Amino acid sequence: MFDDVAPKYDVVNDVLSMGQTRRWRKVVVEAMDVKPGQRVLDLAAGTGTSSEPYADAGIDVIACDFSLGMLKVGKRRRPDIDFIAGDATRLPFADNTFDASTISFGLRNVNEPKKALAEMLRVTKPGGKLVIAEFSQPVVPLWRTMYTEYLMRALPAIAVKVSSNPDAYVYLAESIRAWPDQDHLAVWLKEAGWDNVSYRNLSGGIVAVHRAAKAGAEAGPSAAAAALAAHTGPVAKLRRNIARPAR
């Protein structure tokens, strides 16, 4: 699916979010608070839009994703960034490699999101941090109703006009609705072995930015191993029910 949408992915994002993605991305970068000389994993990096601010700041960022279509578009646009093909549930990196790990609008798409959380813990250095940006649940009921209407009715209709693969945006809307809310995701992070878990709502909760840290060497690896118990998330089940659209 992401191979199909790759060429117009960033433009469509800007249109459907009415430019909000740029603001959300800035908050993620601020929360990461990384410095030149540090090494960052941007997981499910897609076309590398979420990786660019780190590269621009002289930070050693690895953009990892399993869609070769997305990676190719990214590499063409930013040949200076290291794009690496890899599965979030079996990361091709050694333990304790990165000073910080991040995933923007990607965790919801991973088949086994809890495994990805455990893998990010494994490859992050003790004391390192994690920042996740993901769609979430608006907290005020009226805002939630309006947003749900937009998501389920307006967004797919706009996608028909602007995307080469409108069905992917039906999946987007449905996957957002099936995804756990802010508090639930915070519990997943703790279960995966992450410490100091907190989150901040953006746009009234349309997006939540979760932050966490990896404890010292004695706490990290054992918790990660426990969290590697197989899990299949709600979005994975939804995805299996969506037929691949005709080209």
Ligand X SMILES: C[S@@+](CC[C@H](N)C(=O)[O-])C[C@H]1O[C@@H](n2cnc3c(N)ncnc32)[C@H](O)[C@@H]1O
Q: Which residues bind ligand X (CB under 6 A)?
A: 2, 44-46, 49-50, 65-67, 70, 87-89, 104-106, 109-111
Report how far apart, in Å, the C-alpha atoms of 174 and of each of 70, 109, 135, 149 are: 21, 11, 11, 12
Residue (110 or 209) nearer to ligand X, CB: 110
**CA angle, 115 as apex, 126 and 195 as ends, to 5°?**
35
How far apart CA 175 and CA 196 sit, in angstroms, is 27
In angstroms, give the least distance from the CB of 51 to ligand X: 8
In angstroms, give the least distance from the CB of 14 to ligand X: 11
Per-residue tokens: 94: 């050694």
In angstroms, give the least distance from the CB of 143 to ligand X: 23
In angstroms, give the least distance from the CB of 114 to ligand X: 12
Residue among 109, 103, 86, 108 at smallest CA distance from 194: 103
Residue (130 or 195) nearer to ligand X, CB: 130
Sign of CA dihedral 78, 84, 88, 93: negative
223 close to 121: Cβ distance less than 8 angstroms: yes
Residue (104 or 182) nearer to ligand X, CB: 104
Residue (176 or 223) nearer to ligand X, CB: 176
In angstroms, give the least distance from the CB of 61 to ligand X: 12
Residue (105 or 195) nearer to ligand X, CB: 105
In angstroms, give the least distance from the CB of 82 to ligand X: 15
Sheet of 207-213: strand order equals 82-85, 60-65, 39-43, 98-104, 124-135, 207-213, 195-202
Place of tokens 């433009």: 11
How far apart CA 190 and CA 185 sit, in angstroms, is 9
Residue (13 or 38) nearer to ligand X, CB: 13
Per-residue tokens: 5: 């949408």
